[in-house]
Amino acid sequence: MSSTDLTGPTPVEMRQAMGCFASGVTVVTGVDDGEPVGFACQSFASVSLDPPMVLFCADHRGRAWPRIQAAGVFTVNVLGEHQADLCDRFGSSRGAKFEGLDWTPSAIGTPSLHDVLMRVHAEVHEVVVAGDHDVVIGRVVQLETPAPERPMLFFRGRFGVEDQHEYTAPDLWGWGDHWG
C-alpha cells in the first residue's frame, strides 16, 4: 500500500488514540469587558525558554477563546489532583463557569484560580489556525507556583491512571496484538 492510499483516522479514532497520551489539565482564563472567562484545556505545552513561550490549542467552537484573544492576555492555571470539580466546571458548557468561585486578579488582570500547582501569565504572541483549532503561542510575563500539589492527570478520557490497569486499547485499525 502506498502512502497515498491512506485516508487517515476518523475523529472518533483520533480521540480514542490520542487519549493514550496522558497529560495534565489546565484552565485557561482571561477577562473580557470586565467579565472573567475560561475553559478546561489539556493541550498545553512549554515552547521556548529564551524568550519564554508556551502554547495551547483552542477549539474554534469554544466561546471563551475569542474573548481571551480579544483581550490579548491569558493565564494557564495547572490543576492539582484534588481539583476535578474545577475541571468539570470549566470543561463543560453547562452552567456559569465563575459563578460562586473565588479567584484573584493577576498582575495582568486575568483570573488566578486558587490552590493550583502553577500559573503561567502570558501575552498572546501568535495564533496559528490548524484545522478546527487555533494554536495559541503566548509570551510568558510571569510564573507562579503557589501549591506543591499532586497533578491532575487526564488519560483515556478519565482522571488518573491507578484504576485503569485492566484497560484494553481499542483495536482501531485491526492490528490485533501487533501494537508497536
Ligand X SMILES: NC(=O)c1ccc[n+]([C@@H]2O[C@H](COP(=O)([O-])OP(=O)(O)OC[C@H]3O[C@@H](n4cnc5c(N)ncnc54)[C@H](O)[C@@H]3O)[C@@H](O)[C@H]2O)c1
Which residues here bind ligand X, judged by CB under 6 A? 15, 18-19, 42-43, 57, 59, 91, 157
- Say which residue the cell 484494553 belongs to: 168
How many Cα atoms are found within 13 Å in the side-chain-facing hemisphere of 158? 8
Please check whether residue 37 is in contact with residue 69, taking contact to mean a CB–CB distance below 8 angstroms: no
| 3 state SS of 159 | strand
- Alpha carbon distance 126, 122 (integer Å): 12
User: Pairing relation of β-strands 133-144 and 53-59?
Assistant: antiparallel
Q: Which of residues 50-89 bind ligand FAD (CB under 6 A)?
A: 57-59, 61-65, 87
The x, y and z cell numbers of residue 6, run together, are 491512506
Residue 43 binds ligand FAD, judged by CB under 6 A: yes
Binding partner at 19 among ligand X, ligand FAD, none, C-beta below 5 to 8 Å by kind: ligand X
Count of residues interacting with ligand FAD (CB under 6 A): 20
Binding partner at 39 among ligand X, ligand FAD, none, C-beta below 5 to 8 Å by kind: ligand FAD
Beta bridge partners of 135: 57, 128
How many other CB atoms are found less than 10 A from the CB of residue 51?
9
Residue 41 or 116 with smaller CB distance to ligand FAD: 41
Residue 43 or 69 with smaller CB distance to ligand FAD: 43
CB of 24 to ligand X, least distance (A): 11
Q: Among all residues, whose Cβ is closest to ligand X?
A: 157
- Which residues contact ligand FAD (rule: CB under 6 A)? 25, 39-43, 57-59, 61-65, 87, 90-93, 154
